[in-house]
Amino acid sequence: MGRLSGPVRMAGGAAGGLQPGAHPVAHRLPDFVGAVPRTPAVILRRVIDSPGILDDVGVATAAVRAGADVVRELYGQRLDRIDKGGGDFATTADVAAEKAILGVLRTARPDDAVLGEEGGQQGAARAARQWLVDPLCGTLNYAVGNLLVAVNVALRGGAAAVADPFSGEVFCTDGEAAWARQDDVDTRLAPTPATHLVDVNLDPPFPSAPGFRAVDLLAHPDFMARFRPRVVSTSLALAWVAAGKRAAYVTDGGDLSGSVHFASGIALCRAAGCVVSGVDGAPVGQGGRGLVVAADGETHGVLMAMIGGRGAGPSDR
């Protein structure tokens, strides 16, 4: 593909400032996890030299930045593929990005466990805390030169971050508020259904079939009358719902709350105020089925009516 553009400045913000309604200054991140691209080695060195400075959201952000730098650096190169079976595969970029992320997590939080997409469970089996890592969500996109990918790091039940390696944007949450950081500007995430764009994941597995099939949702006459479908095949689309770039996101699956692919996006959307449920309308969690995330209750209710379930209750917000 052609040359990549640099990071895009947020509208209405000046470098070094905070947008109106942005997250409190107390959660501003150190410069070395800011918008200026740094090599993973530089980020790790700064983490080592700054013990105790980073809170959990700072650690998550430093980790996704380290992974994103690797993903961006290796883009366009010839990469070995690692077969996972069932048509799935990883590349050497996935492995290298996860290594960079683990370097940050092990340095900043050595007592915590990690569940990585490529490396599996690491750290103490009885650790009180666990980080969930997907170093390159959208591997197939990446392998064919598509820039729609994400780097996800989440502390189970806590802070999370999602990085877009090619825009330079990082979406963050401390578990209570959610914001985007770009060009040293933090802007609170504001979900809205205004785009009418609904991202639908068509990648297998499809455990809810035949009761629910994502392709059937796309063929529903009411869907096309109200929405426009998008299929980007990366969990970056979940962050876009929280940011108002998508009206909703739908995927089949089992319990996705502890998935390395989805945990960061779910945390972002919940903190931003989105409505989150399974495809059956039940809360996401153990025994859950897939994911329906909408910018507001009306959009969620419309989608659930098409799917054939019920709308989400207050506990799902």
Write out pLDDT tens, residues 31-90: 433 333 455 566 666 665 655 568 999 999 999 999 999 999 999 999 999 988 888 899
Angstrom distance (rounded) from CA 143 to CA 132: 23
Listed in order, the ranges of the chain carrying CATH 3.30.540.10 are 27-188
Q: How many CA atoms lie within 13 A of 249 on its CB side?
A: 28
Tell me the per-residue pLDDT of 138-164, one tens digit each, with 9 for 90 and over: 999 999 999 999 999 999 999 999 999
Q: Is the pLDDT of residue 309 over 60?
A: no
Listed in order, the ranges of the chain carrying CATH 3.40.190.80 are 197-316
Tokens of 56: 């959990």
200 beta partners: 250
What pTM did the predictor assign?
A: 0.83
Confidence of residue 183 (pLDDT cuts 50, 70, 90): confident
Confidence of residue 124 (pLDDT cuts 50, 70, 90): confident
Angstrom distance (rounded) from CA 95 to CA 162: 17
Please report the pLDDT score of residue 266 as a whole number. Answer: 97
**Dihedral angle, C-alpha 101, 143, 207, 159, nearest 10 °:** 20
Q: Please give the C-alpha separations between residue 275 and each of 38, 107, 267, 271, 315, in angstroms, as whole numbers.
A: 35, 35, 12, 10, 9
Angstrom distance (rounded) from CA 108 to CA 52: 8
Q: Is 28 exposed, middle or buried (0-12, 13-18, 19+ CB in 10 A)?
A: middle
CATH topology for 27-188 is Fructose-1,6-Bisphosphatase; Chain A, domain 1 (3.30.540)
In CATH, the number for domain 197-316 is 3.40.190.80
